[in-house]
Amino acid sequence: MTVFGPDVLTDRYQRPLQDLRISVTDRCNFRCTYCMPLDHYDWIAKSQILSYEEIRRLVAIFAQLGVSKVRITGGEPLLRRDLPDLVAMLSGIEGIQDLCLTTNGSLLADKAASLREAGLNRVTVSIDSLNPQTFARMAQRGNLESVLEGVAAAGRAGLSPIKVNAVLERGVNDHEIAELLAYARSHGYEMRFIEFMDVGNVNGWSSSKLVDKDEILRRVAAVHPFRRPTSARGSAPSERYTFLDGQGSFGVIASVTEPFCGACTRIRLTADGRLVTCLFSTGGHDIKSLLRSGASDEDLRRTIAEVWSGRSDRYSEERLVAISSAEGYHPDSVRKIEMISLGG
């Protein structure tokens, strides 16, 4: 184990382990074109999905190793039955200071209050378009109205701050930057624009579909002047800008054009119990088998620590170098884990 200061677990580039993203299911009721456009997947068998008690046990160990922030995600996490029960189990773990959820929002209206009651701090909802037709084209299932109702319910339940994620795809929804901002600003939400990434293998990514950070900032500046961040963003993937009129802020997640691997403190736990140290990993480390074979907490702690201390991922930085090289970048040259198993 690499130790950086007292009891701080770091990887090969001295990055501490701080954030955990837990995918609680690989199922989703949407089929977003940039995430999981296909109808057929080899879904994880029920018996292979971690139980809430197994997740709780692992999170307690992660907390001892330095994790203070946990994000529950999926697939669509709200498809997992009794999710508030998991939230209640995790919110009581010593050391977990921030417990949040990323959701497509379609099932949030009925669940926001119980999630808040169980101890959820905040929520991020993905909304790529406010136009019902464009929304339907991108999500392929579900409807915009239920999502907007879900976000409103989250606000009423006291989940705060509410962040809204939009993946921008050229020629599909990038003309909606101003509308999305107006919606978020008027409700006090933080809008976050995400560069379309080549996660997984099936989303048809190409650099021509990318709307990059510079262009996003130019388009926002044309409608709402903003101040550039004055301090470093730390390990957060989003760079945050404050509107000059005092009406909140927005963020840009520029993982393609401005990679932030150097400050990446995130590990992922898949629904079938694999530890994944990078969004672009080709495989994961099976922790479930150990968990189900009667391993002690100390065995699990040692294994997680070994995985993290051996980590040397910096895929997005390597991709940027490849994009500008003579050979170019070929997203299909490696078989990456799909986003639905990783949860972002």
CB 338, min distance to ligand SAM, A: 9
Q: Which does 62 bind (CB under 5 to 8 A by kind): ligand SF4, ligand SAM, none?
A: none
**C-beta separation of 273 from 25 below 8 A:** no
Q: Is 139 in the site for ligand SAM (CB under 6 A)?
A: no
Q: Which is nearer to ligand SAM, 103 or 277 (CB)?
A: 103
Q: How far is CA 90 from CA 72, 100, 106, 140, 342, in A?
A: 10, 11, 23, 33, 19
Q: How far is CA 9 from CA 159, 196, 269, in A?
A: 31, 31, 17
Which of 44, 89, 184, 199 forms a contact with ligand SAM (CB under 6 A)? Answer: 199
- Strand 122-126, strand 162-168: pairing: parallel
Which of 96, 115, 120, 197 forms a contact with ligand SAM (CB under 6 A)? Answer: 197
Q: Which does 279 bind (CB under 5 to 8 A by kind): ligand SF4, ligand SAM, none?
A: ligand SF4
Residue whose structure tokens are 């509410």: 162
* Backbone torsions φ then ψ of 149, nearest 5 degrees: -65, -40
- Report the alpha-carbon distance of residue 304 to residue 293 in Å, rounded: 16
CB 337, min distance to ligand SAM, A: 11
Site string for ligand SAM, 146-185 (x = CB under 6 A): -------------------x-x------------------
Nearest CA to 280 out of 209, 183, 198 is that of 198
Nearest CA to 290 out of 268, 312, 306, 311 is that of 306
Interacting residues with ligand SAM between 13 and 42 (CB under 6 A):
28, 34-35
Site string for ligand SAM, 90-129 (x = CB under 6 A): ------------xxx---------------------x---
* Ordered alpha helix ranges (H), 72-125: 83-91, 108-118
- Report the alpha-carbon distance of residue 128 to residue 147 in Å, rounded: 11
Per CB under 6 A, residues contacting ligand SF4 are: 28, 30-32, 35-36, 74-76, 104, 126, 255, 259-261, 264, 278-280, 313-316, 339-340
Q: Which is nearer to ligand SAM, 5 or 81 (CB)?
A: 81
Residues 6+ apart with CB under 8 A from 162: 122, 123, 124, 125, 151, 154, 155, 187, 188, 189, 190
**C-beta separation of 139 from 132 below 8 A:** no
Q: Which does 197 bind (CB under 5 to 8 A by kind): ligand SF4, ligand SAM, none?
A: ligand SAM
**C-beta separation of 276 from 270 below 8 A:** yes
Q: Which does 314 bind (CB under 5 to 8 A by kind): ligand SAM, ligand SF4, none?
A: ligand SF4
Amino acid identity of residue 275, one-letter, is L
Q: Which is nearer to ligand SF4, 91 or 146 (CB)?
A: 146
Residue with the shortest CB distance to ligand SAM = 344
Q: Which residues bind ligand SAM (CB under 6 A)?
A: 28, 34-35, 73-74, 76, 102-104, 126, 165, 167, 194, 196-197, 199, 203, 339, 343-344
